[in-house]
Structure 1
């Protein structure tokens, strides 16, 4: 215990500090945290009831929701980050209020997660629908009067649909702080997960989704904002640390050429004369 010596005016008694040892195995209060943005409380109650009927109980799951029924207290990007910070489950499900579990339930999802864990321990996000590449999508989902089922699941995905996302809490994932709105947050979190070394997968888990989504004006606004954000994020850049300097980009040949001594010398001269330290003071 660390103590301050007594003074003539007042004695200080410090509380005992008990350091906590970090263990390899993480502990979670629940298996699942099921999180939703709610605009219709009745529809949300129906969703929760369908989860309960399929094995998600108070002993193994917690249900968290953002109440947007009388106005938006959170938009999706900021709300998801709040959910992920507050969730106490090993797996965090982010789902729409208008989905129902009608066939598959907790037992099936447990098995699918175990299967993916054996295939790829570095998975970060799972979903029931998403984009595999520029041409192909993969889905296992039912809409009114329509069922879509991909026969080759599970499949690696570059993004996942927002109706149902399962996020591994231990991966410490989140969404971008510089994007706002209610669309494409599934794409955003998948891109960030991939940058951090985690993979997204579409799995064989059936959900009934009452709607097919709405690509309205705000969707295209967020699409443009997301493209602009990642144009900046993926741009080549010089990196200067306390002991070394180098250039990074997505181009192998640019990395080779610009990291040469000749180019790096003239790059440093540019920063010396045109980008002094005072330019980096916050405004």
Structure 2
């Protein structure tokens, strides 16, 4: 298993990485962590990681993600479930938006203060991923689009790439911790990424992301920007600080050891 998987992360904070992803037990079990520091965009960082590694399965993870004990064994079991129905799969995610718009998880989000996403009984085809965890089958030949700048929407873009090429993109039950900080509002960089994906995939719209709907008119973006501003106080009250140890968050979620679930 150590040779089958590699974890790749775009890193910008030594402390956040040390407190979360670097503490994941799978790294102590021989699975390598490849770090890309201070890249200009997620796509650039992740393609560099693809070029620098050779493992058949690449686990792209945010630096503030924590994988509980046994997660890699559970991933291997979930891949087997996907391969039973889709031998040429391209992508697997821990949190995605189904073709029916359902949010598929479950994952813990500190910024929301809860476990989010429906627990799937079987792999679910998706139209987008939350970028916190994206698992890529190297044999698919998929790569991230480096013309997309910034750090948003690349989960929607690569899923759409896969679907256009006839490659499966699936959400499966892979519980993990996203120890993300609360963000009061969506910034100009988010709007820029929205517009880029809107232009690129105009013929495939609408597309539902975990946060908004990419539509031809863009009205959904304006609505959701307004809603984010209006709900900032409420959402701040829901958020959990990132000071709690990642292992304690996993314990509170009942995910201290996922190996028994594999």
Question: Does TM, scored on the shorter chain, surpass 0.5?
Answer: yes
What is the CA-CA distance between 1:192 and the residue it aligns to?
A: 0.9
What is the CA-CA distance between 1:205 and the residue it aligns to?
A: 0.6
| Structure 2 match to 1:168 | 137
Between the aligned partners of 2:138 and 2:17, the Cα distance in structure 1 is 23
Alignment of 1:238-249 (within 5 A): none
Indicate conservation of the 8 Å contact 2:4/2:55, yes or no. Answer: yes
| Structure 2 match to 1:155 | 124
| Structure 1 match to 2:99 | 133
Between the aligned partners of 1:194 and 1:213, the Cα distance in structure 2 is 32
Residue ranges of structure 2 left out of the alignment (5+ in a row) = 206-262
| Structure 2 match to 1:224 | 195
Indicate conservation of the 8 Å contact 2:43/2:154, yes or no. Answer: yes
What is the CA-CA distance between 1:202 and the residue it aligns to?
A: 0.6
| Higher relative contact order, chain-length normalized (CA < 8 Å, sep 6+) | 2
Distance verdict in 2 for CA 1:194–1:212, change over 3 Å: farther
Task: Classify the secondary structure of the residue corresponding to 1:193.
Answer: helix
Between the aligned partners of 1:201 and 1:174, the Cα distance in structure 2 is 17
Between the aligned partners of 1:109 and 1:55, the Cα distance in structure 2 is 14
Indicate conservation of the 8 Å contact 1:138/1:202, yes or no. Answer: yes
Alignment of 1:53-132 (within 5 A): 53-54=25-26, 57-58=29-30, 61-68=31-38, 73-102=39-68, 104-132=70-98
2:23 paired residue among 37, 46, 50: 50
Residue ranges of structure 1 left out of the alignment (5+ in a row) = 1-27, 235-283
Between the aligned partners of 2:192 and 2:86, the Cα distance in structure 1 is 35
Structure of larger gyration radius: 1
Instruction: Verify: 1:185 aligned to 2:154, yes or no.
Output: yes
TM-score, normalisation: structure 1: 0.64
Indicate conservation of the 8 Å contact 1:66/1:74, yes or no. Answer: no
Indicate conservation of the 8 Å contact 2:105/2:119, yes or no. Answer: no
Distance verdict in 2 for CA 1:130–1:168, change over 3 Å: same
Q: Counting helix residues as a fraction of each chain, which structure ranks higher?
A: 2
Query: CA RMSD for the aligned pairs?
Result: 2.4
